[in-house]
Structure 1
């Protein structure tokens, strides 16, 4: 699975080089557009994000904070950020948790460090917008790390909607790669690396999962939505991204659209998932999901 994923990513290089970053009013529903944005202007905010003078409207009173996975905000939110901004939301993003992997890849630092950075960023957003609460949308690690914020850093009263896309809430096998972690930890260098690797703490059976405690019951007033794909190759098994509780709605994309073949990386760009996110943030004005053919990495056919 890992070699197939690498081959697929390498095959995207021509498309990435040919693509340009999406305009704020014309988002692209394709993962290569985020890669192109990072290549063209590394570290830029995604379109529509981080207007620190944005005033939330009565229709959308909560600013939306987008939290990336093992990536950065430029790559991850090149589609959803402009979609939300065009829908009238104040949108904010940040690259958090930069660690040993370098500035291109956030969410790598220990979860505790990432969560503190997220907490500080949310407080900054609340202060700038004058709001009591924000809505969170997180992909992968960005959907899991905030539970540390809720459990340990006093975040429960600051969140209204919490949308988790392909989040390894209950640990992930990473399609079997996580089974190699004990071998890595058998060396002094490997142990040091694992200690500094936030995602490593979410391997199956890790005691840190009890600390993370992804239990929606800790925050009964938060409305949780999970979105997963059966074709996920990173958050595996895909059911790791689901939760139980009266304040939770679980969405398996293929239950909505059998021709949606998106995997982990394409998920934040997937038009079916994007509609689910919009409906979760504004359920009073939810719209039906339009099913289409969505291919891994590249997005909707003809989109």
Structure 2
């Protein structure tokens, strides 16, 4: 096998490992409506006046990424919505693969729909992986800062990823990066140092008027190094999950899909006035 094909195959195996964990099932898809989110008749309460928009990660979708967190938030009185974005023609269910700039435009339209349905002037955003980074383009370049109060990123690749250093080999294999770009531009956009990330982070990580909250795990095997997830700027809170519970072993997928300690920290970020300490005991909260 040619060297560049070996590299692309290795990248695919690592990324598809994530996809396998999130692989959709008919039962999971059917469960979503009964869990209470994407209820377009929901009206925000005085206690939780802003709807929450959930933004899935690469290879994710609006259901599978949120079978844990969406009900968690609905049960706490939030109006919760999730979208699909970054679809590629002929690729069902596995989303977040298209150009990220275009995906941010899809988020823009979805937030407008949510605000129109709920009557709320602003929304809060919660995203996992790519979904914890992509909305920053919406906030910075598409006017999203006027419509968003808080943005919570769970294991976001804010400054790209080297996939444990693997992507640093791309320049040594002529044509490999072009192949990835042509097939899955959403992946190439997330490589550390990409043109997309360079523009996104020029002039600072944040924009005025939005609260940012990043939740990372030291065991992240996809967004590496994990500290590249953190943001710098005013109104930023960076949290390492193991500083809240040293026994939490969640990695990149688990922190966004099943980790109730992380979910508790999300709830704190959405409602800081009623926040309670995030600890190992949050798993039963």
TM-score by length of 1: 0.80
Distance 1:135 1:198 in 2: 24
Which residue in 2 is equivalent to 1:289? 278
CA distances 1:64-101 after superposition (whole Å, capped 9, x unpaired): 00000011121110011001101000000011111268
Give the alignment of 1:232-243 within 5 angstroms: 232-243=220-231
Distance 1:209 1:72 in 2: 22
Distance 1:152 1:9, change over 3 A: closer
Q: Does 1:153 align with 2:139?
A: no
Q: 52, 55, 59: which is aligned to 1:64?
A: 52
Which residue in 2 is equivalent to 1:297? none
Which residue in 1 is equivalent to 2:129? 140
Report the alpha carbon displacement of residue 270 of structure 1 after superposing the two structures with TM: 0.7
Give the alignment of 1:105-116 within 5 angstroms: 105-116=94-105
2:151 is paired with a residue of what secondary structure?
strand
Which residue in 1 is equivalent to 2:153? 164
- Contact preservation (8 Å) 1:141, 1:199: no
Q: Does 1:40 align with 2:17?
A: no
Distance 2:97 2:31 in 1: 19
Gaps of 5+ in 2: 1-9
Q: 189, 210, 215: which is aligned to 2:198?
A: 210
Which residue in 1 is equivalent to 2:37? 49
Gaps of 5+ in 1: 14-31, 294-299
Which residue in 2 is equivalent to 1:99? 88
1:97 is paired with a residue of what secondary structure?
coil
TM-score by length of 2: 0.85
Distance 1:279 1:51, change over 3 A: same
Give the alignment of 1:169-188 within 5 angstroms: 169-182=158-171, 186=175
- Contact preservation (8 Å) 1:169, 1:214: no
Distance 2:41 2:65 in 1: 23
1:274 is paired with a residue of what secondary structure?
helix
